[in-house]
Chain A
Amino acid sequence: MEYQAHVRHMKDVQEGKKLVITIRDLSPGKHKYTGRVARVQVSRTPEALANWEKLWVHSVVGLKDPQPWGMKIVEELGITVPGKPYSDGDDRVHG
């Protein structure tokens, strides 16, 4: 399956690193782009790209990294996360 995510700082997405991000499902159909929160590990090793899910990363202004990452979902954290409105838990939600 393929997913996309937006991150505040592209440099935070690094080889082997684990991140908490909102992943959006890119499967075609009415539910494309629906999101959930997960702790994931990303890698661009040939094994990861071949065997893991595919993740397309977008920057804070929506620019798409043309190279995908391999992504392994380490932990599902739910549809939504605890947090106050406007609290901007970016460290938590966006890696």
Chain B
Amino acid sequence: MNTQAVEETVSVQAGQSDKDQRSFIETLRGTGDVVFVDKEVHWDLELGAISRRMTEIDGPAIVFRNITDYPGQSIFVDPISTWRRAAVTLGLPAHARIPEIYAEYIRRDANPIPPVEVKDAACRDVIIRGKDVDVCELATPMIHEGDGGRYLATWCIDVTKDPDTGWVNWGTYRFMIHNKQYLSGWPFPLSHAGKMLQEKYLPFNKPMPIAIVMGADPASHLAATATTRIGRDEASLAGGLAGHPIEIARCLDSDLTFPACAEVVLEGEILPDRNAHEGPYAEYPGYRSGEMGSGILMKVNTICYRKNPILSMDCTGFKDCSSVVIALGGGVDIQRGLERAGVPVTGVYVPSEGAVHLCIVGVSKGGREVTEKVLHALTGRRTYMTKILVCDDDIDIFNLSEVIHAFATRCHSRRGVIIKDIEKGAVALAACYSQEERARTAGATAAFDVTFPPEWDRWETPVRATFDKMYPAEVKKKVLDNWKSYGL
């Protein structure tokens, strides 16, 4: 493997996102953010172990092109597990700073572009239906030792439809192989798909049509992971993020629509009256925390894929794709929510190291009252964050070194900590929760007031002892201009 990162020489033309996964891979090749493995690698743990290590060293994405038992199939691992690849997804240079990536996401998110429906889908090269379906024919890794099974759907778009409103939901939910024709999955019960199933299908004992899509364009995957409101068209969001309309196609067995460029599509239905074991599975929090049991069961009726398909995979765990893409879309969603709640928010950062448990909020005016407002705004139907830091806007919230310094020094250990119990809606994957709390989706969120009290006299408020704050502008300029001449 050539893991050496080279400075990118190409950026996506005209700020547009790539139109399919294969062109995305080529763009990443140009920026030095993908490597190709042609040595034979076994799907049973070896592929997962290589990918996990690469993820943890912030390495490039990997395309495995020689997988034991699966000649002709490849797996593209960790499409967007770094901020560099998130930047490329949005058509930015790979070296774009995180605040620039957020700003670009916000701009594109505000300008959705409706999809265009086409008749042909790239995945129709091979079509397998009915009793011939065998999901084990798709290259599916056993990602971590001790997982409940082989997770086929990790970097995927799961498509479902509200039968009343017609809203088509694109989400990213895990599914593992149970047997030849069955996948068991675990969308969080309060997720859009989970609610749709429980409210619109189960009361009538009806199966819910579903399609699992792998290897689509990066903007469609990014849209599927976004924490949008119920009813928002994620295909249009994907178009906005991509900067061009997404081509969508209809399933063979239902009227569900999916990105027409996808490499692989599995069509089927969630059964209302059958079940199978699901989990446990090592997930984005960086733990395998015991989320296991009867989730939902998909009977797969049709499999379609491109010739020599390139499947997609998130090597879940510490610093995986989920922790970056949810940090991005979720961070933007949080900022909007805080603005609606009247918080004087200046920025939001959900660092991937915090695994979607830690949120850093910059505010122009702090204090306990503002911190409480932030806490209440971020503990709603689904409470992902267990720790929230509310920081003054003189702190660069995207610089963890500055944030830790501020947290250690400005947060009063008694007055600066506010805790809210969560009785329902806590994310059950948080490692700090007991098995009993997980079963109840109960937990707690702590908000830390990392701001100086606004009522303090500004002439008496401590000043940071840093280069930026301790010297007059002319001295700083002189020092910076002469830095090399000092022999430094």
Listed in ascending order, the chain A residues whose CB lies under 8 Å from chain B are: 6, 8, 22, 24, 29-37, 58, 60-64, 79-90, 93-94
Q: Write out the residue numbers on chain A whose beta carbons fall within 8 Å of the beta carbon of B144.
A: 62
Known contacts: A62-B147, A79-B178. The answer to whether A22 contacts B276 by CB under 8 A is yes
* B69 partner residues in chain A, CB cutoff 8 A: 29-30
Give the interface size class of chain B.
35 or more
Q: A35-B178, A80-B297 are in contact. Are A85 and B270 (CB under 8 A)?
A: yes
Determine which of B177, B198, B275, B296 lies in contact with A89 in the assembled complex, contact meaning CB atoms within 8 Å: B275
B337 within 8 Å of A by Cβ? no
Bound-state Cα–Cα, A87 to B277, Å: 11
Partner-contacting stretch, out of B9-17, B260-268, B285-293, B473-481: B285-293
| B297→A60 contact, CB < 8 A | no
- For B281, the closest partner residue in chain A by CB is A62
A-B contact pairs, 23 of them (CB 8 A): A22-B277, A30-B136, A33-B142, A34-B136, A61-B289, A61-B290, A62-B146, A64-B146, A79-B178, A79-B182, A80-B274, A80-B275, A81-B275, A83-B275, A83-B294, A84-B202, A84-B275, A85-B270, A85-B271, A87-B294, A88-B293, A88-B294, A94-B292
Q: CB of B150 within 8 A of chain A?
A: yes
B436 adjacent to chain A (CB < 8 Å)? no
Q: In the complex, how many angstroms separate the beta carbon of B293 from the nearest chain A beta carbon?
A: 4
Residues in chain A near residue B70, CB distance under 8 A: 30
Chain A residues, Cβ within 8 Å of B178 = 34-35, 79-80
B interface list, Cβ under 8 A from A? 44, 69-70, 136-137, 142, 144-150, 177-180, 182, 189, 194, 197-198, 202, 270-277, 279-280, 282, 287-290, 292-297, 435
Q: How far is the CB of B465 from chain A (nearest CB, A)?
A: 45
> When the two chains form their complex, are residues B297 and A89 in contact, meaning their CB atoms are under 8 A apart?
no
CA distance A79 to B183 in the complex (A): 11
Residues of B within 8 A of A82 (CB): 273-275
Q: Say yes or no: B276 contacts A31, CB within 8 Å.
A: no
Please judge, given known A-B contacts A30-B69, A34-B136, A35-B178, whether A90 and B293 are in contact too, CB under 8 Å: yes
Q: Which residue of B lies closest to A9 (CB)?
A: B435
Chain A residues with CB below 8 A from B276, complex form? 22, 35, 37, 79-81, 93
With A81-B274, A85-B272 known to touch, is A62 a contact of B148 (CB < 8 Å)?
Answer: yes
Report which of A30, A34, A60, A83 forms a contact with B137, defined as CB distance below 8 A: A30
Contact of A93 among B136, B273, B275 (CB under 8 A): B275
User: Chain B residues with Cβ under 8 A from A6's Cβ?
Assistant: 148, 277, 279-280, 292
Name the contact of B179 in the complex, choosing from A63, A79, A84, A87 (C-beta under 8 A).
A79
Do residues B177 and A60 form an inter-chain contact, with CB atoms below 8 A?
A: no
Question: Which residues of B lie under 8 Å from residue A81 when comparing CB positions?
Answer: 274-276
> What is the CA–CA distance of A79 and B273 in the complex, to the nearest angstrom?
14
A85–B146 CB distance below 8 A: no
Q: Are A34 and B179 in contact (CB under 8 A)?
A: yes
* Contact yes or no, B198 A63, CB < 8 A: no
B277 cross-chain contacts in A, Cβ below 8 A: 6, 22, 35, 37, 93-94
B70's nearest neighbour on chain A, judged by CB, is A30
* Top 6 A-B residue pairs of the complex, sorted by shortest distance between their CB atoms: A62-B146, A83-B275, A22-B277, A60-B290, A85-B296, A88-B293
Given A33-B142, A62-B145, A79-B182, 13 more pairs with CB closer than 8 A: A6-B280, A30-B137, A33-B149, A33-B177, A64-B145, A80-B182, A82-B274, A82-B275, A84-B202, A85-B202, A86-B295, A93-B276, A94-B292
Q: Which residues of B contact A37 (CB under 8 A)?
A: 276-277
- Complex-state Cα separation, A80 to B274, whole angstroms: 6
* C-alpha gap A37/B178 in the complex (Å): 11
Once A60-B435, A62-B146 are accepted as A-B contacts, the answer to whether A94 and B293 lie under 8 Å apart by CB is: yes
Known: A83-B273, A86-B198. A35 touches B179 (CB 8 A): yes
Contacts of A35 in B (CB 8 A): 149, 178-179, 276-277
State the CA gap A5–B461 with chains docked (Å). 60
How distant is the Cα of A89 from the Cα of B184 in the complex, in angstroms? Answer: 14
- CA–CA, A24 and B280, complex, Å: 14
- What residues of B have a CB within 8 angstroms of the CB of A29 in the complex? 69
Q: Are B290 and A31 in touch, CB under 8 angstroms?
A: no
Tell me if B293 and A85 are in contact (CB < 8 A): no
C-alpha gap A22/B275 in the complex (Å): 11
Complex alpha-carbon distance, A75 and B171, angstroms: 38
Taking a contact as CB atoms under 8 Å apart, the answer to whether A90 and B289 are in contact is no
B108 to chain A: closest CB distance in Å? 35
With A84-B272, A94-B293: A61-B288 Cβ-Cβ less than 8 Å: yes
